[in-house]
Structure 1
């Protein structure tokens, strides 16, 4: 069964190579967590100069990862935001350099997930009760065929896409979203890992 595409865009080999940069990943993470920001503010958060930060922002924008938020800022002040819709790393990269970049990005994804889980474990005891009740740590171990696994994965992604659409609508109406104190930045981890299949398990 072929995987459905639930992302607005797939990173090509050049985008993979560009994105596989520690500072660009950090900038993307900051924009994802805190919303639109300027090169000056990001530089202060990262401990880098504004020129370097601006360069990396332009590189991210060149590959469709982020964009300028034209409705924000005054004069020459420029706010950057993540492009709605997410992305996928796509199929096997066509060359060794892109394959190496993909390995780097996947390793960073594993690191990021571990850090986010550890952060919530630390913050949960002091978080508002409604967020504690809404959150969960989940793991399931199932006996499925590859076809069943792909079908289950796609069904879960269909649900995630529905809520991504809700989230994207709010990003198009930032003023209304800012007036809703119940909104929070929610991270969803979803992995499907067929373990023990290499060399017959």
Structure 2
């Protein structure tokens, strides 16, 4: 049995695509189970599509048991420096839904995952290995920080309708720029030091 396919239709609204994506995530249970029982029937691009659909889940990429094998395979591949898998949703391509991975660092991180480390605690570092941004209709839908403070743990930020899962000090459903987190983190530390220094006098 082949992976359920989304068929982009001209004029689709993001919500229609999202509903289809979530139906496909739930259908993964059947699809992946069939692929395990009859591996010869699985298509070459199924893994990339499974990964994309699981990463778009607001509850996290491994909320559903069917998503665990493809997502664990993804983490392993990324840790070994492999390229991010691709997905072809069929007619019209997959322009409306795609994902990109960015490796995390002191210059690209969530503010609450930043910390000082390295020699003499002088380096700004990130507790995550990377972040995968999933976009639907060119709008950020989920951002998944992976290997957060250890292999296998993730933090999922959801930016779809009714979003409330965003870092502090960011208005609901407004994506922040992880490349600006370091400046905010350093500013906050400086303010705390100034406040502590003021109390000492």
TM-score (norm 1): 0.26
Structure having greater relative contact order (Cα 8 Å, sep ≥ 6): 1
Instruction: Name whichever structure is richer in strand by fraction.
Output: 2
